């Protein structure tokens, strides 16, 4: 049987994750912990005997670096990698670069919570999760899914909100459910798809202590 394999991984901890800053499209690197998380994800995938034919990532360094580290651990650094800003993190607009606690003091706890956890309300100058899904999902349907369905084993290294858009579709979650779904850094989500693109099997790898 063709192994229609799709693995999604949120990048390892970034420098701004550590500092509790809104990151969005700002291009920041991984912390030492983030590097360790990415390497651990690669080792876990290798331990499961998984091999990949192609990989996708965003236009942002933290996702690309995570992918590089995973492929290094998998001994698969020579596979094709496609990069596209369609897989970028949600753009937080005017919140980008701000400490989350400072943003709460400026706009209020309730308003910041709405911006962070509603599906279709965007922060000033930024994107809602619905906006993010509007660019992620067409790219998935046009570029990623056809390869998976052809049997190309596919690895995607991206971001919390761009991956939420995919998980929402794959797991048939409502807008209210997806905004509550947390995706841990460096933890692979393993999907095997049916021929009609629905999920045949789903597995979350437990986070490895690093």
Asked if 89 is an active-site residue, the reply is: yes
Task: From the candidates 37, 73, 89, 152, give the one annotated as an active-site residue.
Answer: 89
Residues present in the chain in total: 210
Nearest to 210 by CA among 32, 20, 71, 18: 32
Q: Under a CB-based contact definition with an 8 Å cutoff, are residues 35 and 62 in contact?
A: no
- The conformation of residue 191, written as its DSSP 8-state character, comes to E
- The conformation of residue 143, written as its DSSP 8-state character, comes to I
Distance CA(178)–CA(33), nearest Å, equals 26
Query: Pairing state of beta strands 199-204 and 189-193?
Result: antiparallel
Nearest to 59 by CA among 26, 34, 32: 26
What six digits make up the tokens of 186? 């460096």
What six digits make up the tokens of 171? 């797991």
Query: Pairing state of beta strands 154-158 and 80-83?
Result: unpaired
- Indicate which residues carry an active-site annotation: 11, 89
């Amino acid at each position: 049987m063709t192994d229609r394999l799709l693995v999604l991984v949120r990048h390892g901890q970034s420098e701004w994750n550590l500092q509790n800053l809104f990151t969005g499209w700002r291009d920041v690197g991984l912390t030492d912990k983030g590097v360790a998380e990415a390497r651990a994800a690669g080792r876990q995938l290798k331990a499961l005997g998984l091999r990949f034919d192609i990989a996708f990532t965003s236009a942002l360094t933290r996702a690309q670096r995570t992918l590089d580290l995973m492929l290094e651990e998998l001994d698969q650094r020579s596979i094709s990698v496609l990069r596209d800003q369609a897989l970028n993190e949600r753009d937080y607009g005017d919140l980008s670069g701000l400490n989350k606690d400072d943003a709460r003091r400026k706009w209020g706890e309730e308003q910041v919570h709405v911006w962070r956890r509603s599906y279709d309300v965007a922060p000033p100058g930024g994107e809602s999760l619905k906006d993010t899904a509007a660019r992620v999902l067409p790219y998935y349907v046009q570029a990623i899914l056809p390869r998976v369905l052809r049997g190309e084993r596919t690895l995607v290294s991206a971001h919390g909100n761009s991956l939420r858009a995919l998980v929402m579709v794959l797991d048939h979650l409502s807008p209210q459910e997806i905004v509550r779904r947390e995706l841990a850094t460096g933890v692979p989500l393993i999907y095997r798809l049916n021929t009609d693109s629905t999920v045949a099997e789903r597995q979350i790898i437990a986070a490895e202590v690093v």
